[in-house]
Amino acid sequence: EAGVAQSPRYKIIEKRQSVAFWCNPISGHATLYWYQQILGQGPKLLIQFQNNGVVDDSQLPKDRFSAERLKGVDSTLKIQPAKLEDSAVYLCASKPGRTTHEQFFGPGTRLTVL
């Protein structure tokens, strides 16, 4: 079974530029998460989707971050404009449904904002 795919793996941009990350969850997984992991910290949830609907985006900085999951499969996370403090690893995770607990993580995208 293929795992969660993310691209790109690495991205370097200058502050005030825009960037987008892509995630392809495990086939059939209804729930998709985006996390931000700052160096030395644990992952922090940004947004949770159930199929193509947003379930929880309470910790998403909506003035600059946006995410969508069209057709309930792939998802993109965008930052516009980026700030220095956005430098982090952005993790995508998925799980089959709302009642199961285990999340399956992708390898992450490491973003450096200069």
Task: Give contact residues for another protein (rule: CB under 8 A).
Answer: 3-4, 33, 40-45, 48, 55-56, 58, 91, 93, 98, 101-108
Query: 């930052």: which residue's tokens?
Result: 79
Residue among 3 and 8 whose Cβ is closer to another protein = 3
Q: What is the C-alpha separation between 64 and 76, in angstroms, rounded?
A: 14
Question: In the chain, count of helices (H) and strands (E)?
Answer: 0, 11
Helix (H, G, I), strand (E, B) or coil at 85: helix
Beta carbon of residue 9, minimum distance to another protein (angstroms, whole number): 9
Beta carbon of residue 19, minimum distance to another protein (angstroms, whole number): 20
Query: 């502050």: which residue's tokens?
Result: 15
Q: Select from 54, 2, 52, 1 the least CA-distant residue to 30.
A: 52
Beta carbon of residue 80, minimum distance to another protein (angstroms, whole number): 25
Residue among 9 and 15 whose Cβ is closer to another protein = 9
Residue among 16 and 44 whose Cβ is closer to another protein = 44
